[in-house]
Amino acid sequence: MTTSFVLLSDTHLPKRAKDLPAALWSDVDAADLVVHAGDWVDLATLDAVQARSRRFEGVRGNNDGPEFDDRLPLVARFAVEDLRFALVHETGAATGRERRMAAEYPDVDVLVFGHSHIPWDTVAPSGLRLLNPGSPTDRRRQPDFTWMRGTVTGADLTVALVRLPPPAR
């Protein structure tokens, strides 16, 4: 069996944008699993993403207020096919991230995180894959708005970064 997924983070609605990009909503509607690594800011966005997701995994981030405390954990663990995932918002500094996260999550195959708004796809020496989808609404110093889509078949993980250029001015 193959499971399709979408990874997103740092949506910051409605502060950074009024809505998610239409292409991302299409991906959410088509995916078997939607994973959000925190910094929603708005409960209405959480409700909308959950309502449109076949399966949903999410955490809260540092910009999510106390209204998220009863809805989302700080860390989530889940399985997709034969892979073990962990989901968090923050992982600390980029320097040494693979080593630190491999030590913190020794029983995980894939760690999805957010916070930096910078897409990230690396593999630690331990084999832990680290993924950050960036942000679909707040690119900061990045050239494009981003999220990730992919598939899991058994223990095989395929991930692609989706880039959405900012509108022309």
Whether 36 is in a domain gets the answer yes
pLDDT tens-digit readout, 30-79: 999 999 999 999 999 999 999 999 999 999 999 999 999 999 999 999 99
Number of folded domains that form the chain: 1
Q: Six-digit token pair at 28?
A: 């959410």
pLDDT at 166: 86
For residue 17, give both structure tokens.
């944008």
Residue 169 in domain: no
CA distance 38 to 113: 8
Question: Which amino acid does the sequence have at 112?
Answer: V
C-beta separation of 146 from 133 below 8 A: yes
pLDDT digits (tens, 9 = 90+) for 123-151: 999 999 999 999 999 999 999 999 999 99
CATH number assigned to the domain comprising residue 155: 3.60.21.10
Structural domain for 50, as ranges: 2-164
Residue 78, number of CB atoms within 10 A of its CB: 13
- Is 95 a member of any domain? yes
**Residues 102-112: pLDDT tens digits?**
999 999 999 99
Global pTM exceeds 0.75: yes
Query: What is the distance between the alpha carbons of residues 81 and 158, in angstroms, rounded to a whole number?
Result: 13
| 43 is a domain residue | yes
pLDDT, residue 93, reads 95
Residue 16 domain-assigned (yes or no): yes
